[in-house]
Structure 1
Amino acid sequence: MLRERPPGLPARSRGAGTVTGAPLRLGTRGSALAMTQSGTVAELLRSASGRPVELVSVTTHGDTATGPLASLGGTGVFATALRESLLAGECDFIVHSLKDLPNAAYPGITLIAVPERESARDALCTQDAAGLAALPAGARVGTGSPRRAAQVLSRRPDLVVTDIRGNVDTRLRKVADGDYDAIVLAEAGLRRIGRDGEIRETFDLGQWPSSAGQGALAIEMRTDQLAAELGTLLRALNDPHAELTALVERAVLAELEAGCAAPVGISAREGGDAVALLAQVYRHDGGHSIRVEDVVPASLVAEPAGRAAFAARIVAELRARGVDELAEGGTFS
C-alpha cells in the first residue's frame, strides 16, 4: 500500500502507528529504487509481525535539486526530509540507503536496524564495451560521485568523466541514447530494481573500495519509541554481520570527516572472528591515492567505543602517509 504525504495534512499523533493492528507507516523517498528497497523492508516486517505496512512517499531536497550531487550538501541531501517527516509523526519509521546518511547523530532519531546487505561493489554499464579497459580513449563516463570519478581516472586517465544526475533508469537511458559511453552505479541498486542485465563489469572491493555502507539499508525510528512494540519489531530485522561491517566503515569515515563528496573508498569484510578493512583516499584527478589496510578482532569493534578507537588508528596511519595533502582546499579535519 502506498500513499503520498499530502502537503499540509495534519500528522497523526506520535506513536499512533504502533497500535496493534493499525498499519505501520514506512517513510521513503519516491524513486523506483527507494520504493523497491522500502518495499523489501515492508515485506520483511509484514512476514515477521503479521502487521500491515504502508509506504509514505516523501520528496527530499536531493530529489528536486538539479546541481551536481556533490555540491548539494553532501550526505544529508536525501535524509533530512525523511527525518523531519518521522519527527513530525507523519510516518512511524524510515528507510534509507545507509551510504546516504550523515555520520553525525540526529537528535530524537535512532538507527535501529541494518537488514541483510546486498553487494557493496560498483558496476559499469556501457553501450557496447565489455568493460572499463575496452572503452576507447576519450569515451564519456558519467558519475555523480567524486570517488568513482577518481577511481575511473586512476585506471583510465584518458577518459572524460562528467557529472550525471537522475534515477537509475534515467541514467541507463542516457547511455542507450549515446549521451554517455558508460556510467558507474552501485551493483546493489541495479540488482534491486532488476536492471542487473545492464552490468558489463563489477569492480573488486579489494582494488576498488566503495562508499561506506554501500549496499546496506538503514532503518531509523524515533528514539522515544525504542521501548515500544515497534522498536522490538524493527530490531528483529537487523543482520548483525551487515550492521558490523557497515558501522565499522562509517566509523572510519566519521573519523576522517570526509562526507560522501570526498574521494574516499572504505570497505570492511567480516571473516571468522575478525574484520578486515581497506580505506583508500584519492586525489580528485585520480593521479595519486593513499591506501591503508588493517585487521581487527570483531569483538573489539562490536561497540561504538571500539569502532571509534579502530577508526582513529586507521586515520592516523592515513594522515601519517600524507592523506591531508590529497584533499583540495585543506585537510579533512
Structure 2
Amino acid sequence: MTDTLRLATRGSDLALRQAGTVRDALSSRRRDVELRRVETRGDQIPDELIHRLGKTGAFVRSLDEEVLAGDADLAVHSLKDVPTEEMDDMVVAGVPERAPSGDVFVHPDGLGIEDLPSGSVVGTGSLRRTAQIKATRPDLVVEPLRGNVDTRIEKLLAPGLQAEHERRLIASGEASAMTAEEGGAGDEGDAESGETDADAESGEPEVDEEFETTVEEWFDSLSDLERSAMERKVETEYDAIVLAEAGLRRSDLFHDVPTTRLPREEFVPAAGQGAIAVTATDPEVIEDVRSAVDHPRTRVAVTVERTILGELNGGCVAPIGVSALVQGEHVHTRVRVLSTDGTEEVADTRDLPIRSHAKAAESFAADLADRGADDLIAAAREAAEVDEGTRQEAADE
C-alpha cells in the first residue's frame, strides 16, 4: 500500500462526486487520496439497457479488478450496482450514510404519474421501474432510456424547449427571415401574401404569438442544463421519466427540474439504491475506510436488502424492489417482486429484529420464494435469455 490511497472510480460526473465524498472523508483522517478514472463495460456500451449488459456488475468489475491488480487501493461504487456475490478477497469496507433511496417522477410541468393522460410516454432504463409503472398505470407507454443523469433529463426537456424556441423565432419574424435566406417558402405557401396552405384552408391568416421577452433574452434565462438540451437530437420524445432521487441530488440537479416522489409502497426501490460502497482488499485500508466512512444504520439496512436480493437470486434480470429502514430495534422491510409486464406480483412487509437482521432477511426471502417469487424471477430470467438470443441472431444476420 502506498502513502497516497488510489481510489478507482468511473469518470461520470455522478461517480466523481460520489468518489469525492469518500476522498473528503478519508482526507479528514489525514490520508491523501488520488482519484483514478476507469472505464467500465457499462460505460463502453452507453446505449444498452442495464439488464442486457450480461452478468451483473457491468459498472463494478473493472474498478475492483484495478484493486485486485494492485493498480488501486480501493474503489467506489453505487451499491445497487454491486453484485451480491462478492469477488474473491474483495470486501465492502465502507458504506457511508445513505442518500434518499426512493424514485422520483420527473415531468417538465411537475405532473405526477397519476396525472398523465393515457398513452403518455415514460422513459426508464430499469426493468424494475418498467414493471412498477406498468402495474400502476398499464395505460402508459414505457420506453427505454439510458445515459447519465443529466443526459436523461436533457432527453426529456429537449423536444419542448426546441418547440418553444421555434415558436419564439416565428413570433419574432426571425424564422421567416431564415427561410427567405435559405431560398424562400417554396411550395408551402404564397410568398408574396405570406399566406400558408393552412391559412388558405381555414380562411384566416395565422396569428403570431406574442412574448414579453426576445428570443435572446429567453435563451439567456435558460439554465446550462436547458441550453444543453436545446442542442440534443432526440429519437424518442418522453412525456416524463423516472430517476433515483439520490442521483439527482448528488448531481446537483434536484432543484433544476420539477419532481414528484413516487409512493414507496408501489415503487419499492432497488436493493442498495441511494447508498455508496467502498471496496478494498488490504486489511489496513479496510480498517481506515470502515472507521472513516461506515454508517452503521445504513450498513444494517443495505445488508438486509442485499441478503434478500441474493437469496432470491434475482440480480438485474428480474423486477425486484427491496427497501429496508432501521426503526429502533427492528428493520422495517418491504419487498415487491413483479412479472416483467407488471401483471403479477408477490409482495410483503415485515419488521425484522435488528439483532439477527441477516438471518431474518434470509427467512423472509425464503417465504417470498415459496409464495411464488421464485416463479416470477425464473420467468423473467427466461425472457431475458430469449431476448439475448434474439438480439444475437439479429446481430449475426
- Work out whether 1:233 is the aligned partner of 2:288: yes
Give 1:208's match in structure 2, choosing from 231, 251, 267. Answer: 267
- Deviation >4 Å, runs of 4+: 329-332
User: Any conservation in 2 of the 1:120–1:188 contact (CA below 8 Å)?
Assistant: yes
Measure, in 1, the Cα distance between the counterparts of 2:363 and 2:15. 35
- The count of aligned residue pairs is 302
Letter in 2 for 1:149: T
State the Cα distance separating 1:74 from its structure 2 match. Answer: 4.4
Instruction: Please give the TM-score of this superposition, normalised by the length of structure 1.
Output: 0.87
Retained in 2: the 8 A contact 1:255–1:315? yes
Q: Which whole-Å CA distance do the structure 2 matches of 1:192 and 1:330 have between them?
A: 32
Q: Give the 3 Å change call, closer, same or farther, for CA 39–299 of structure 1 in structure 2.
A: same
Equivalence map 1:273-312=2 (5 Å):
273-301=329-357, 307=358, 309-312=359-362
Structure 2 residue 238 is the aligned partner of structure 1 residue 183: no
What residue in structure 2 maps to residue 154 of structure 1?
Answer: 135
Using the TM superposition, give the Cα deviation of residue 330 of structure 1 relative to its aligned residue in structure 2, in angstroms: 6.5
1:315 matched to 2:365: yes
Of residues 76, 94, 97 in structure 2, which corresponds to 1:95? 76
**Judging changes above 3 Å, is the alpha-carbon distance between structure 1 residues 94 and 329 closer, same or farther for their aligned structure 2 residues?**
closer
- Which residues of structure 2 form unaligned runs of 5+? 160-236, 384-397
Residues 154-188 of structure 1: CA distance to partner in whole angstroms, max 9, x if unpaired? 11111110111111111000000132111111100
Q: Name the structure 2 match of 1:217.
A: 276
Cα distance in 2, alignment partners of residues 24 and 61 from structure 1: 24
Q: Counterpart amino acid of 1:269?
A: L
Q: In 1, Cα distance between the equivalents of 2:273 and 2:12?
A: 17
Larger RCO (CA within 8 A; separation ≥ 6): 2
| 1:139 lines up with 2:120 in the alignment | yes
Tell me the alpha carbon deviations over residues 278-328 of structure 1, each in whole angstroms, 9 at most, x when there is no partner.
111011111221112211210112xxxxx1x32332223223322233232
Displacement of 1:119 in angstroms is 0.6
Q: Between the two proteins, what is the percent identity of the paired residues?
A: 40
3-state SS of paired residue (2:343): coil
Q: Deviations over 1:73-109 (max 9, x none)?
A: 2431000100111111111111000000001121121
Does the aligned pair in 1 maintain the 2:108–2:258 contact within 8 Å? Answer: no
Larger radius of gyration: 2
CA contact (8 A) 1:75 1:260 kept: yes
2-structure distance, mates of 1:329, 1:270 = 30
Contact 2:317 2:381 in 1 (8 A): no
Query: Which 5+ residue runs of structure 1 have no aligned equivalent?
Result: 1-14, 302-306
Pair 1:192 & 2:250 matched? yes
The 3-state SS of whatever aligns with 1:176 is: helix
TM-score when normalising by structure 2: 0.73
Give, in angstroms, the shift of residue 199 of structure 1: 4.2
CA contact (8 A) 1:145 1:261 kept: no
Structure with greater proportional helix content: 2
Secondary structure of residue in 2 paired with 1:151: helix
